[in-house]
Structure 1
């Protein structure tokens, strides 16, 4: 049985009979899932009265609530997408068994075999890796075809497709092709049903291993990162959840686009954020000229900021310290205090830790004096002495308490001393504020300033760390932004996703080894994904014509799809009218339509579409080129490529991004010469 479609007439047809049995199995799965949800809610109720210590009860309650929440939040949809029939006599625990593969495990009882095996379970790996050359004990791999948008009604199971791996059958999967090419409407979908072997290798890599995926457009690198997160939560739940898992996206629109992927895989409660949100100490109310922002994002600023912070430490300010206790006076000389400060500085501790260590050592010197005179002092005496006014005043003189805002504001007012020998005069001038605020409290902070503030805060105290962080669009991170991420994964691992050809910021990476060093993981391997599954060949071929002009060593991508269309539409004097015409044509097809323009052109193009009455179609989105990264549309109308290329320093990279947002059809509307034709 290899047809992806149902047999139309004969009730005795084997395919129709198989569909009937599979639909009945799906009904059983749906009933079992409902029972699992009810049982999980009941466990939460009964678990509240569990007889255990307070800490144990709290841990158990959290676990039960998390399980119940994940089941409740599992979106409606088909409960399985594949099946593995293992051959008899092949050895192993699965010989002669059949397993349905789905997004979550479904079982009627923990003691009996599950009705559906989670796609992340070890046995499920054969679904993605088995082949006619290496069947891995699988006799038949079955894939199921579901009606688009199905919410899990068994009647939506419309077809199935069998691959007889045990007999050496080699064939392309029509169902996989249909799923990959299905129109993109709404947020990003999971790819659990269509993961390819090379993607599966990345998803199931060891949790302790950091990796970098250099993924050409449409190769599924974002999906790989999200599925790897789900895999780690499934296979190492205690380790990953204890350390925490963070998904970092380039902007909030991107996070909205991917928001439903992990819940669809049965994982909820994962923090999905942007780096800007993670480091935000203040709202962004200021802006920087590009030269100023470029200096602030430069790796040398880390040393400039370290100098500026530790310049506040002054061992020479140490005076003799005397603390009274009744009629006695205990004294520590200024020379001793200066030596304490110098010794602590040499230990290279975080600033706040160093300050408290100086306090502690001064107090212990006082304790030694007191105990030589009149015996042992209790711990309470030591703690009281540490916080006494004379000790605090001495500490403030040699190792003052500061805030990151004070350090950064003072540096930007006068960077000369801290930047001497690190930045040239022009860079120091770019860094210096023309009109410094009266105090750090009235400062207006730019996005780049927040990165500087986070660096200083990290020098003062270590931020919260995560067990694993997935970083998407990592090629656009500056060295200082990379350092902010590295501080949050000091002992954990990273999954770094990106494409050097899509680097659009002025400080975008041109080399992955250099970027990984800034991220604190120089040992991470770089794995290329060059086979596109989403972007049609005609679109990739056009985009590849830009690669030689981008200044990055990235291999051309190739696509397995030959079904897409590409049209170059010349606008004869009226660009908005040509765009309206292209959009009208695009809306006659199924799927989403993205109109992508240079940022400056977006208002007039949007106005033209509104005047034409096209803006009411929910499938249509008009988006500036600077906000389109990471998004996909079935049909893209790229407006005036020359304007996009000229709008910024790395405009050709931005144009490469724009062209590769199309997953079915691309219209290029232009009135000027095309950049790749020069």
Structure 2
């Protein structure tokens, strides 16, 4: 194409995209008007109004997020038809809803991602726009179906993956590759496992799959939302912009430590303790710990009824406990049965003692009357109530687990490993979360207490409403007899109380995040190799439909409780009905850096295959050995050098090294430049350390440096010695 022809087409594309933005602005204004109209509705019920407001709010939000990069490409079909591809769909309502802009998730947009020279999908040309804000800067064309062309034109892709990183993760919707698109649109409704090495885009693929599923299964999934589980809050901040930028907001982002609403997690356990808590064997410990709290009195407890005293002893309590356990009810639900039988047994002893010498069971009516009176007295007996509550207490997950950790005796009684002991049982760790969640279902709820609380709330609301009714009464002396009315003639106190019930104005994501019993339509698990068997039990409870997108890399596993293979993880829940896909191309890490990381991977995971880098950056990684008193200055030099460049940088190291963040905290993140400090100390943690160093080495998209005081690890030394000296004080790897 000549320069003149290119310029003319660029003007035309700019005009078309500008028209799309004008239409977007009109639709946005109309959506805002509908939203405000829904807020002001008075002719519908409060519930209907809230539903309408939420719907209109989502509609407005969908249009708001499309402002940046609204249209990013165009397809020209062999038939002569032209389609523009973008973040959302825009249609001509006056012309049979002909599309002005195709949503990237629509089936008609799929050739934009999968068409190749060999398989053009009936397309003649693919055009990709490079935009800034609302302006098209330029475009790149790929002519499809021409013999000898590459499998896919890489100009737009390489420009995107080589661009400097910002504060958050960017979506890849404009540059999705064929192998990624196949996974995103996969029709499998159950568990999908996507494995890939660093930089293969598995996280972005998972998030775009969520957007695709919410688009194609909107009616079902919008009622329940999506849960995204990531390895750290830093990672969640990094990815948190992707789904909103694709028009999806009914998503809850959390770590495994946040799966129990309201729980404050303060630490991680030591690897061995995490392994013990993550194993399914801990279920036996929890059940035994519950049974241990259903106690027998060490000494008889005297129950004084004034004229008579009887003993609440171990034999009596054992009988009541057996009756309660035989019901099969959960601990808190069986409390009422235990209390009822214990009181009946105590009553029988009281009646027998009162009637000793003159009353026999043959005197049935007198016996029954006396027993009924005694039962009433015992039901209100404070000492008996306190004794029974102590022997079979109402437990929460926290009041069971914290005392268990703090007591060597209780740990032994539950058959637990002594390593679980800690002085402060309430210093909750990430590994405690699945145990606390499990205990909700193992303990059950105290229905009697919940009913009493509900009754107290209803009575308080009715009392409040009655007060309002009094204020609403009309002064009958000022009204004609024919129109004398009081408020009660039109509305009862209970009806009015209903109107004073607090409405829940939170959006779906807020409500779901605060509700432990919420079940999701789909769950995404990132860095899934780190999750324990107990973590998976929590997640399976959150998604009974077993609709999961699971992404991870077994070679990067650092948790002692994590997965070593995918099959055993999912077999208990879906058998072999799960699908596996692998991503093999590294779009993030340049070949120069992947050579270094691949050598390390070959040492600690020889069966794993490093992903193939799609590009080179032209900058070789460097290493520098420093003295103890030079380390801080060397880190400052790196940061000062990077401050003058565009993009992001980070310094990673082992825990406790000043000026660094732990290598494990960078999982899932990416930076333009990375400095790895003391790789030998990171490796010293064994297999876990090797995985952490592999993660650290593969975070950079452009530049990688290594600072070390001790000799370089063996996997890096050979590369360094074979390198070519660079500027003073540095060595370059091959």
TM-score, with structure 1 as normaliser: 0.77
Q: Classify 1:419/1:336 alpha carbon distance in 2 versus 1 (closer, same or farther; 3 Å).
A: closer
Between the aligned partners of 1:463 and 1:236, the Cα distance in structure 2 is: 22
Superposed CA RMSD: 3.6
2:135 paired with 1:135: no
Instruction: Give the SS at the match of 1:599.
Output: coil
Instruction: Determine if contact 1:543/1:659 at 8 Å carries over to the other structure.
Output: yes
Between the aligned partners of 1:422 and 1:119, the Cα distance in structure 2 is: 55
- CA drift of 1:25 comes to 0.4
Q: Classify 1:168/1:54 alpha carbon distance in 2 versus 1 (closer, same or farther; 3 Å).
A: farther
Instruction: Determine if contact 1:86/1:98 at 8 Å carries over to the other structure.
Output: yes
The 5 Å alignment of 1:569-580 reads 569-573=623-627, 574-580=630-636
Q: Classify 1:571/1:202 alpha carbon distance in 2 versus 1 (closer, same or farther; 3 Å).
A: same
Query: Match of 1:623?
Result: 661
Between the aligned partners of 1:594 and 1:485, the Cα distance in structure 2 is: 32
- CA drift of 1:276 comes to 1.3
Between the aligned partners of 1:228 and 1:172, the Cα distance in structure 2 is: 23
Residue segments in structure 2 that go unaligned for 5+ positions in a row: 298-315, 343-375, 445-515, 718-734
Instruction: Determine if contact 1:281/1:450 at 8 Å carries over to the other structure.
Output: no
- CA drift of 1:489 comes to 1.7
Between the aligned partners of 2:653 and 2:177, the Cα distance in structure 1 is: 33
Q: Classify 1:353/1:54 alpha carbon distance in 2 versus 1 (closer, same or farther; 3 Å).
A: farther
| Matched length | 585
Bigger radius of gyration among the two = 2
Q: Classify 1:561/1:520 alpha carbon distance in 2 versus 1 (closer, same or farther; 3 Å).
A: same
Q: Classify 1:250/1:572 alpha carbon distance in 2 versus 1 (closer, same or farther; 3 Å).
A: closer
Q: Classify 1:163/1:344 alpha carbon distance in 2 versus 1 (closer, same or farther; 3 Å).
A: farther
2:677 paired with 1:639: yes
Out of 60, 74, 97, the position equivalent to 2:81 is 97
Deviates most, 541-550 or 235-244: 541-550
Between the aligned partners of 1:631 and 1:172, the Cα distance in structure 2 is: 27
Give CA-to-partner distance per residue, 1:437-494, whole Å, 9 cap, x none: 7xx7xx4434433442222123345832211111111112222222222221222411
2:396 paired with 1:403: yes
Between the aligned partners of 2:250 and 2:570, the Cα distance in structure 1 is: 28
Instruction: Give the SS at the match of 2:222.
Output: helix
Between the aligned partners of 1:623 and 1:76, the Cα distance in structure 2 is: 35
Instruction: Determine if contact 1:75/1:263 at 8 Å carries over to the other structure.
Output: no
Between the aligned partners of 1:460 and 1:86, the Cα distance in structure 2 is: 62
Query: Match of 1:178?
Result: 159
Out of 674, 684, 688, the position equivalent to 1:650 is 688
Give CA-to-partner distance per residue, 1:339-394, whole Å, 9 cap, x none: 9745642xxx76556778999999xxxxxxxxxxxxxxxxxxxxxx9xx979x979
Deviates most, 245-254 or 353-362: 353-362
The 5 Å alignment of 1:101-112 reads 101-109=85-93, 111-112=96-97
- CA drift of 1:221 comes to 0.6
Query: Match of 1:61?
Result: 53
Between the aligned partners of 2:226 and 2:682, the Cα distance in structure 1 is: 36
- CA drift of 1:669 comes to 2.6
Q: Classify 1:401/1:422 alpha carbon distance in 2 versus 1 (closer, same or farther; 3 Å).
A: closer
Out of 229, 243, 267, the position equivalent to 2:210 is 229
- CA drift of 1:127 comes to 1.0
- CA drift of 1:422 comes to 6.2
Q: Classify 1:109/1:399 alpha carbon distance in 2 versus 1 (closer, same or farther; 3 Å).
A: farther
Between the aligned partners of 1:233 and 1:649, the Cα distance in structure 2 is: 39
Query: Match of 1:194?
Result: 175
- CA drift of 1:17 comes to 1.4
The 5 Å alignment of 1:8-407 reads 13-48=4-39, 49=41, 55-72=47-64, 74=65, 76-88=67-79, 96-109=80-93, 111-146=96-131, 150-152=132-134, 154=135, 156-165=136-145, 169-170=149-150, 172-206=153-187, 208-279=189-260, 281-284=262-265, 288-312=269-293, 341=324, 344-345=327-328, 401-407=394-400
The 5 Å alignment of 1:487-566 reads 487-517=541-571, 523-551=577-605, 553-566=607-620
- CA drift of 1:535 comes to 0.7
Instruction: Give the SS at the match of 1:115.
Output: strand
